[in-house]
């Protein structure tokens, strides 16, 4: 699955999300938004969660994920 080609011709990357950066664990050109499923080019990746280790295509998707996580915390 990690080397699955995306419609853009590049492989999906596996990243470790850090507070101000990310580390490429498995090379690729894109990641998938955890909320929308949209493909995000690594050069365009701006939003992610360190706690959930997820990428988001937009700030709205990031907020939606955060609100969902807060509602489901015990």
45 is a domain residue = yes
Residue span of the structural domain in which 63 resides: 14-71
| DSSP codes, 6-64 | PTTSSBBPEEEE-SS-EEEEE--SEEEBTTT--EEEGGG--EEETTTTEEESSHHHHHH
What is the pTM (predicted TM-score) of this model?
0.84
64 is a domain residue = yes
3 is a domain residue = no
6 is a domain residue = no
Confidence band for 7, pLDDT divided at 50, 70 and 90: low
34 is a domain residue = yes
Distance, in Å, from the CA atom of 33 to the CA atom of 58, rounded to the nearest integer, reads 9
Q: How many domains does the chain have?
A: 1
Mean pLDDT over residues 32-56, rounded? 97
């Amino acid at each position: 699955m990690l080397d699955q080609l995306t419609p853009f011709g590049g492989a999906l990357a596996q990243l470790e999300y850090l507070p101000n950066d990310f580390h490429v664990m498995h090379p690729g050109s894109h990641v998938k938004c955890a909320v929308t499923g949209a493909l995000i080019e690594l050069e365009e990746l701006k939003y992610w969660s360190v706690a959930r280790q997820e990428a988001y295509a937009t700030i709205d998707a990031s907020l939606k994920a955060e609100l969902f996580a807060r509602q489901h915390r015990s």
